[in-house]
Amino acid sequence: MSDNERIVLVTGGSGGIGRRVAARLAADGMTVVVHYAGNPAPAEEVAKQIIADGGTAGTAQADVTDPQQVQDLFDTVERQFGGVDVVVNTAGVMILSPLTEMSVDDFDTMHRINVRGAFLLSQQAARRLRTGGALINFASTVRKLALPTYTAYAASKAAVEALTPILAKELRGRDITVNAVAPGPTATPFFLDGKPQEVIDNLAEAAPLERLGEPDDTAEVVAFLAGPARWVNGQTIFVNGGVI
């Protein structure tokens, strides 16, 4: 199947990395459905820009923690575009706190979205992706960096990293790849908000390339996994400039 026949669902597609992933896959000729959880305006902005640039895009809403809404999300994409070939699961939240100070509510919120959401989306993707499809989950380099205050977030992303290669094996014979990307420190509001400049500078200097990642750095890897990378399967690709 050529890229211009592939239908892509990008969850969290209006976020810092998600919107660049959506734009990159559309530029590669894929039809992109930009998912949003609540506010439709940012997702519609991404879709409109893709269309203005000559691509094909739409939007769809769902709470990724709700099984029925996730099923309905895939139903909507199939009804509008005929099927689903690629799912890119960028939806997630990050709440930082030392373990001893984190509230159970914050822990549960993060794991509901990051782990339960990834599970439900992976489950539907495994059931619904067409032959030649690809599922791309999002893990995180912080699982290796082991930075203070990231305990619960890193644990949620470690769960995503764990389910990815097992699901790849469970889909034996389907010609569907299952991989994860694990961005390092990336210049998005998701990462930058609330951090002192000194912390940001130190993280930028940690990579041998001496800069923070950009959303396009991750989008480039996602585009590879979504299209030509048919012999990469069950892997977590660390996209972090060599920080670890």
Which amino acids are annotated catalytic? 153
What CATH architecture does domain 3-186+215-231 belong to?
Answer: 3-Layer(aba) Sandwich (3.40)
Q: What is the pLDDT of residues 179-218, one digit of tens each?
A: 999 999 888 877 777 778 887 888 888 899 989 889 999 9
Strand order of the sheet with strand 177-183? 57-61, 31-36, 7-11, 86-89, 134-138, 177-183, 236-239
**% of the chain beyond a pLDDT of 90:** 84
Range with the poorest average pLDDT among 34-43, 132-141, 188-197: 188-197
Domain boundaries, the chain: 3-186+215-231
Q: What is the pLDDT of residues 106-130, one digit of tens each?
A: 999 999 999 999 999 999 999 999 9
Averaged over 74-94, what is the pLDDT? 96
What integer pLDDT is reported at residue 199 of this predicted model?
78
pTM (predicted TM-score): 0.94
Measured CA angle at 190 (ends 189, 196), to 5 deg: 70
Question: How many other CB atoms are found less than 10 A from the CB of residue 98?
Answer: 11
pLDDT tier at 86 (50, 70, 90 boundaries)? very high
Extract the tokens encoding 184: 């390092």
What integer pLDDT is reported at residue 116 of this predicted model?
98
Residue 2 has pLDDT above 60, yes or no: no
d(CA 87, CA 135): 5
Residue 81 has pLDDT above 90, yes or no: yes
d(CA 25, CA 7): 10
What integer pLDDT is reported at residue 193 of this predicted model?
75
Residue 29 has pLDDT above 80, yes or no: yes
